[in-house]
Amino acid sequence: MPRRIDHVAIIVRNLEQALIFYRDTLGLEPRAIQDVPSEQVRIAFLPMGGPQGSEIELIEPTTPDSSLSRFLEKRGEGMHHLCLEVDDIDAALQEMNEREVAVLDTQPRLAAEGRAIFLHPKATHGVLLELIEKRPQATRRVER
């Protein structure tokens, strides 16, 4: 079902601070920096080349009372989730439910660039897993 890694998400205290390393030291130019109010985060997408290339997603919690700020308090900065792209998120949700996989969503939620569901880490051997069906215009054309 998933056909590619869409992004690897790293949670950071401060996006600008993290970009000093990822942009200025590693040379990864952010494609987009945007607020996602529904998730109470601000994110930066760092393309890793090519229209089908995966990205690093830096995530900064923007409120003190979200699951992300709790994560940051409890576990500090680091890997937060892995996002895999699927062609049909409704079919994926139905399949997860049929297989009684612990899904955190009853319906796909609006993610930054499409519709997504999250699978609980206890179902995935310890990794918070996001499955996303990308909006067409979100499919990147990164000229190299």
Q: Residues interacting with ligand MCA, by CB under 6 A?
A: 36, 39, 41, 43, 57, 59, 67-68, 70-71, 74, 80-81, 83, 104, 111-112, 118, 120-121, 126-128, 130
Cβ 34 vs Cβ 111: under 8 Å? no
| Cβ 138 to Co ion shortest distance, Å | 12
Query: Given the complex with ligand MCA, which of 40 and 95 has the nearer CB atom?
Result: 40
Q: Contacting Co ion (CB under 5 A), which of 84, 130, 131, 134?
A: 130
Which CB, 41 or 143, lies closer to ligand MCA?
Answer: 41
